[in-house]
Structure 1
Amino acid sequence: MKRFVNRRDFLAMSAKGVGAVVVSYGLMGCGSDDDDSVSAQFLQGVASGDPATDAVILWTRVTPDVDAEVTVSWEVATDSKFTQLVTNGQMTTTKDRDYTVKVDAVGLEAGQQYFYRFKAGDTVSEIGQTRTLPEGSVASVKLAVMSCANFPAGYFNVYEMAAQQDDLDAVVHLGDYLYEYARGEYASEHAVELGREVLPAGELFLLEDYRTRYSQYRSDASLQKLHAKVPFITVWDDHEVANDTWKDGAENHNDGEGDFDLRKQAALQAYFEWLPIRPWSEGNHEEIYRSFNFGNLVDLHMLDTRVLARDKQLEYSQYIDATTGAFNSATFLTDVTDTNRTLLGQTQLLWLQQTLLQSTAKWQVLGQQVLMAKMLMPAAIATQQMSIPQFAELAGIAQLAGRAQASDPTLTAEELAYLQANQARLTPEVMALLQLPAIPYNLDAWDGYAYEREVILATAKSLNHNLVVIAGDTHNAWASELTDSGGDVVGIEFATSSVSSPGLEYYLGLSDAEMPSTEAAIVSLIADLKYANLKDRGYLLLSFTQDEVRSDWQYVDTILDKTFARLEARGFSATSTAGNPKVTAV
């Protein structure tokens, strides 16, 4: 039986300042190591995040032997032996904050590496490494971009591979840090054999449910290793709450499952407790849009396209006549381009415009969840009336028929024979589907919120910015050029694959042999798309210099075995030079 708290109880919990950050103010006296301190362990490792030029968030969690307050001290030093302390302090954590510890270590120097650790009584955590943001003239910045980690789907080998990278400035995690589904549901086919069944067993609804799931994820050794090595810059996507979340609901929040707003607030509170993220203000668990400045080279603006203000997604079923199957493209176009339709919300959109106006770094990067590029596909495919291979085959036959009708002298005997054998397949119904216009294949992405996309592209264009958008969410890798309504290329988009969540190969049932041709077909069908990988799990390595941005997609060959290799054969690299927003394969 599902359990729910009422709004009054939840607000009472929130008023306690759950998830607040303790701010360090410099070197203090000795931390707590009294003999009578509560015994505790650091089972979820350590982490850092939200770096600034003079500060960084430090995180850990303690597991006490008894339910009691635990005093935890911390130290930050410039060396791994902690002989050169920079700042330290202590705080008390309790069950009310799920025994998490978050410290805003301030007073640091720009562009420096630091070491940190925590102590609870006689127990010392592992040592973490972090670094502050650089300032002034910066020659290069390197970021690992990742998203979509599903615990039961397989091992987190992608995190393990990223932890082997020694020159990262930060990890940018674009959401779906965890998934809310019950045991045995989405992507759980191998969970039992891998020993990765989710906790708790049911779907996540309550604060304690989300906390338990975070605890399980953070027990993963590969994720712990990466967190301990490099600071994270994060935003949430939908599964930190529920699938296809929008501001007032979600696709899988159903009748009888309680107040969605309470569920959302519980999920976001747990997120702030368990991720090394700096809140705007104490108790504010909803606003996460913020900027990070890597000197004069990169301004990274992290956006919330999911929880704060998103209008409900449009659905193609609303525009298909139930009797005739005809698609009402005129009504759809009116709705999808409605100027009142919002993804960011007015407050966040104005903040982004003002931030871009004031930003002066060489590269302006939008870190956010969903694809911004126009992913327009033939309507027959987008509305699932034809598969991609089926459409490609029938379109090819129709093209041959058109050439034959025009008496094209270049038609070969083989082509004419193929046409004769297949022309009967070009029925009036098929021809009608082939002639439908190209429409967005994913209305959960920016394609379903066209007006605000145009506003952002127009803003970047008017300021002559070098615009780079990074995205996750789809579980596949993409590289696209960003074109405005006038057809001008304004920026580029690089999208990362998933850590472990299955991609289109899972939904389309594609074999390894079918994959290359299907990927090529999709790239040929979508005008702005330059690269697609529909199969492999991995992350995006993003490297900036004053002259160019380079994207290197890194893949693992398996997530079903802890022994893995980098999948060189499926890797891909692309660049774009400053002042020339074109995606060029390397």
Structure 2
Amino acid sequence: MIFSRRQFLKTTLASGALTPFAYQVAAAPINPLFDCGVASGDPTHHSVILWTHTREPIGLTWQVARDLAFKQLVKSGQGETSLTQDCTFKIDVTGLEPGTTYYYRFITSSGQSEPGRTRTLPAGEPESLNIAVASCSNYPFGYFNAYHHIAGDESVDFVLHLGDYIYEYGQDSWGDEEGRKLKRRHQPANEIVSLTDYRTRHRQYKTDNGSRLMHASHPLIPTWDDHESANNPYMQGAQNHQPGEGNWADRKAASIQAYYEWMPLREPAKQAEKAQLWRHFGFGNLATLTTLETRHTGRSKQIDYAEHLPQIKSEQTLRHFIESVLGDPGRSMLSIAMENFVNHKLAESVAQGTKWRLIGNQIPMARTNIPDATDLTLPKALADNGAIAQHFGYFMALGKYDLPIYLDTWDGYPVAREKFYQLCQSAKASDLIVLTGDSHAFWANQLFAGDGDAMGVELGTAGITSPGDFETFGPALAGEFDQRVAQHNREILWTDCQHRGYVKLELAPKTAIASFIGVSNITSEHYSAKTLRQYQISKAGSSLAIEKI
């Protein structure tokens, strides 16, 4: 895709999300060399990663300033893009001041990039912290308008992306019908399996106008989920990796290499540690954020309902499935090294008197079973659609036995979830705010360990464009399913699978506000956004209380 600055400015103006900085980015003179814009991320108190891409190998100068006019330069240097790194460029800018906003740009002999704005982590006693939480941006399904809206919010300090930043599917797969209509079909056309494939797909996603503006406007704290490599991976393979697609280890390595090249992410000291994407961020005494890696380093293979549902024909076989199959104590989610890391960082956060403890978590953690819904029926127009009828029947079968909606989530690893809760309890951290992606739905959940002890709350974000599971049943039936799931499960306060958007978390010393923000559409770059629901979170003994505002 050739990026159009005129179209970018027109779209930004039409959306109404025009801040002074966003206008500067959108109105900057076009330089086709920087075809994917600029980005920053992985901030510390004294450093941040700056990123860009050029259409061809070239030498460049990078600059960091305190002002948008770049009259107060604080750092600068030279570098070059090369084919070895797919013409991406990253620099770890050090020696910065905590809690400070900076502006940056890249300059070549043929011109300069648009400006970017970034920020270091705050130290001391910050009075507020605002984080936008995003997940599941599938290019063919529509425009990344939620990214665009995040870019227009001047109060956002950091963007936490919880994965599914790209999707691996080819043009013959999920989302392509919508992609044809919008002229947003996946490139390359095939399912991505090679390093070249993954690089091409990342590049395509970076051309979206909303994505480009968000990356220029706010620093990113990224982690992957499954689709950055292939659907539902585990340590030895993936559900969407077939024998004819080569060696899984090679494919995984290619996906990880491309991810590090194309994201504003700090390189580990040892290349072998790239898969160990668990990290910790401190925001003064206000909050800490610990991100998990739940795909490549500790996860056992997922249980497949297709292999077990036909065998469940009695209470005895149901109990065997729940206790012996799902409840197999040998099935893990996190690596031992990460468990030790999380325990240490949470204990440190508690000991330092930090007010809030955030967990960046890819997959839903709350217990989420499907209720019996045999009284519901599909409208005839939908019942005649074989794929939708099969999907509906699948949920009916789960509801008959009160089974979890997903087995790729923590519900499919109940022993591992309990182990995670226990390591948090041993660190005296039962007041977690778990931030979750993956499910393409909004969630406001309370969390409880197996012994009934409160563990905190979970805030789940909808997809940027990926559709919810119940949406194919039509608005009325999808809404009914959402409501019944919330009523049926103790831990779920509210869920909504029918909107695309993001969660904004606003932290203050005594309370936190979670806003679930939806965009009106993703089929046009002209959209509106609204807050669908808000919750206030406060301390309640050793845990947290959450209530609707």
Normalising by structure 2, report the TM-score: 0.86
In 1, Cα distance between the equivalents of 2:530 and 2:347? 41
- Give the structure 1 partner of residue 217 of structure 2: 229
What is the alpha-carbon root mean square deviation over aligned residues? 2.2
Q: Which runs of 5+ in 1 are unaligned?
A: 1-38, 392-432
Contact 1:505 1:534 in 2 (8 A): yes
Structure 2 unaligned residues grouped into runs of 5+: 1-30, 379-396
Matches of 2:223 and 2:399 in 1, distance apart? 40
Equivalent position amino acid for 2:408 in 1:
D
Secondary structure of the corresponding residue to residue 91 of structure 1: strand
> Judging changes above 3 Å, is the alpha-carbon distance between structure 1 residues 564 and 435 closer, same or farther for their aligned structure 2 residues?
closer
Give the CA deviation at 1:248: 1.2
| Partner deviation per Cα, 1:71-90 (whole Å, 9 max, x = no partner) | 12100010111111111111
Cα distance in 2, alignment partners of residues 548 and 435 from structure 1 = 37
Match of 2:266 among 261, 272, 278: 278
User: Partner of 1:551 in structure 2?
Assistant: 514
Pair 339,515 (structure 1): closer, same or farther in 2 beyond 3 Å: closer
User: For the residues of structure 1 that align with 2:429 and 2:227, how far apart are their CA atoms?
Assistant: 35
| Per-residue deviation, 1:545 | 1.1
Shift of 1:323: 9.2
Instruction: Judge which range, 449-458 or 528-537, deviates more.
Output: 449-458
- 1:541 alignment partner in structure 2: 504
Which residue in the other structure is 1:584 paired with?
Answer: 547
Report the more deviating stretch, 94-103 or 576-585: 576-585
Structure 1's 549 and 72: CA in aligned 2 closer, same or farther, altered over 3 A?
A: same
| Bigger mean CA offset, 274-283 vs 166-175 | 274-283
1:295 is aligned, of 266, 284, 290, to 284
- Which of 341, 360, 368 is the matching residue for 2:361? 368
Rounded to whole Å, the distance in 1 between the matches of 2:437 and 2:374 is 24
User: Which of 492, 512, 520 is equivalent to 2:457?
Assistant: 492
* Secondary structure of residue in 1 paired with 2:176: coil
Call closer, same or farther: CA 1:388–1:100 in 2, change over 3 Å: farther
Q: Which residue of 2 aligns with 1:185?
A: 173
Superposed displacement of residue 40, structure 1: 7.6
| CA deviation string 1:227-281 (max 9, x = no partner) | 0000000100110001111111111111211101100100000000000011222
- Quick check: 1:354 aligned with 2:382? no
Question: Residues 209-288 of structure 1: matches in 2 within 5 Å?
Answer: 209-283=197-271, 284-288=273-277
**Residues in 1 aligned to 2:308 and 2:121: alpha-carbon distance in whole angstroms:** 48
Tell me how far apart the structure 1 counterparts of residues 45 and 206 of structure 2 sit (CA, whole Å). 27
Q: Aligned with 2:422: secondary structure?
A: helix
Tell me which amino acid in the other structure corresponds to 1:202: N
Structure with max Cα Rg: 1
Match of 2:323 among 319, 333, 354: 333
User: Are the structure 2 counterparts of residues 120 and 550 from structure 1 closer, same or farther at C-alpha, using a change threshold of 3 Å?
Assistant: same
Paired AA for residue 183 in structure 2: G
CA contact (8 A) 1:40 1:120 kept: no
Instruction: Classify 1:215/1:464 alpha carbon distance in 2 versus 1 (closer, same or farther; 3 Å).
Output: closer
- Whole-angstrom CA distance in 2 between matches of 1:192 and 1:387: 36
Contact 2:168 2:191 survives alignment (8 Å)? yes
Aligned length: 494
Partner Cα separation in structure 1 for residue 225 and residue 516 of structure 2: 21
**1:29-44 to 2 correspondences below 5 Å:** 41-44=33-36
Alignment match of 1:461 (pick from 400, 406, 425): 425
Check the 8 A contact 1:210/1:270 in 2, yes or no: yes
After TM superposition, give the deviation of residue 345 of structure 1 in Å.
1.3
1:57 to 49, 56, 71: 49
Counterparts of 1:322 and 1:235, CA distance in 2: 37
Match of 2:527 in 1: 564
Distance apart, 1:457 and its partner CA = 1.9
Give the SS at the match of 1:63: coil
CA distance in 1, matches of 2:409, 2:331: 13
Give the counterpart letter for 1:293 in structure 2.
Answer: G
Q: Is the 2:539–2:545 contact (alpha carbons within 8 Å) kept by the matching residues of 1?
A: no
User: In 1, Cα distance between the equivalents of 2:73 and 2:230?
Assistant: 43
CA distance in 2 between counterparts of 1:502 and 1:43 reads 28
- Distance in 2 of aligned mates of 1:131 and 1:251: 38
The separation in 2 between residues aligned to 1:292 and 1:513, in whole angstroms, is 42
Tell me the residue number matched to 1:125. Answer: 113
Q: Can you list the C-alpha shifts for 1:509-537, whole angstroms capped at 9, x where unaligned?
A: 23223343332211111111001001100
Q: For 1:367, give the aligned amino acid.
A: G
Deviation at 1:125, TM superposition (A): 0.6
Rate the CA distance shift 1:434–1:180 in 2: closer, same or farther, 3 A: closer
Structure-2 separation of matches of 1:346 and 1:339:
14
Alignment of 1:114-193 (within 5 A): 114-193=102-181
Equivalent AA in structure 1 for residue 287 of structure 2:
V
Structure 1 position 322, deviation (Å)? 4.7
Question: 1:434 and 1:505, CA in 2 relative to 1: closer, same or farther beyond 3 A?
Answer: closer
Q: Distance in 2 between the 1:516 and 1:263 partners?
A: 39
Q: Does the CA contact (< 8 Å) of 1:130 and 1:229 recur in 2? A: yes
Higher mean Cα deviation, 78-87 or 261-270?
78-87
The TM-score normalised by the length of structure 1 is 0.81
Query: Is 2:535 aligned against 1:574?
Result: yes
- C-alpha distance 512-294 of structure 1, shift in aligned 2 (>3 A): same
Q: Distance in 2 between matches of 1:111 and 1:388?
A: 55
What one-letter code is carried by the residue in structure 2 that aligns with 1:50? D
